[in-house]
Amino acid sequence: MFRLSYLWSVGSGRTLRETVLESSPVLALLNQSFVSSWSLVKELENMQADELSPALSEKARLHLDKYTFPVEMMVALPNGTIVHHINANFFLDQTSMKPDDGEEQDGTTFSFSGGFEDPSTSTYISFLKEGLERAKQYLAQ
């Protein structure tokens, strides 16, 4: 199982909860391959500063290093290594574009294929599958 993390500073993940996280195919993939969690940036900053738990502090640091306001979605290994991430604003921009308008982030082009009518569902499933693929290189080591 891989850790799927959501980080945000303030506000809520309402847009994600009311769209892709209500999709049956997304929920099935999450339940099959991920341990999903949500963290506030402030909580991670407190964990990072905790000198009594260096392992937890390091995992918090790894997540904070990849965080961009307001919400960052991350796929992480159990040791805290982030193998894939996407900012929620970029994700929402991608899902509001027409299919031929796709752009790259971190060398990945998100597409609307996959047989889903909702571009956000297709894009999110692509994000999760890409995270699983990227994790394979770490697991082979």
pLDDT at 111 (0 to 100): 46
Predicted TM-score of the model (pTM): 0.76
Cβ-based neighbours of 126, under 8 Å, separated by 6 or more: 110, 111, 113, 114
Can you read off the two tokens belonging to residue 33? 């391959």
112 and 119 Cβ atoms separated by less than 8 Å = yes
Q: Where are the alpha helices (DSSP H) in the chain?
A: 14-17, 24-33, 41-48, 54-66, 88-96, 119-139
What's the one-letter identity of residue 112?
A: F
Which domains does the chain show, CATH number per domain? 2-139 (3.40.30)
Per-residue confidence (pLDDT) for residue 116, from 0 to 100: 55
Query: CA dist 109 to 5, 96, 99, 118, 122, Å?
Result: 21, 14, 11, 17, 12
Residue-level pLDDT at 138 = 86
Output the tens digit of pLDDT for each of the chain's 141 residues: 556 555 554 445 666 767 787 889 988 998 888 888 888 899 999 999 999 999 999 999 999 999 998 889 999 998 899 999 999 888 888 877 655 544 454 555 444 445 556 788 888 899 999 999 999 988 887
pLDDT of 115 reads 53
pLDDT number for residue 10: 45
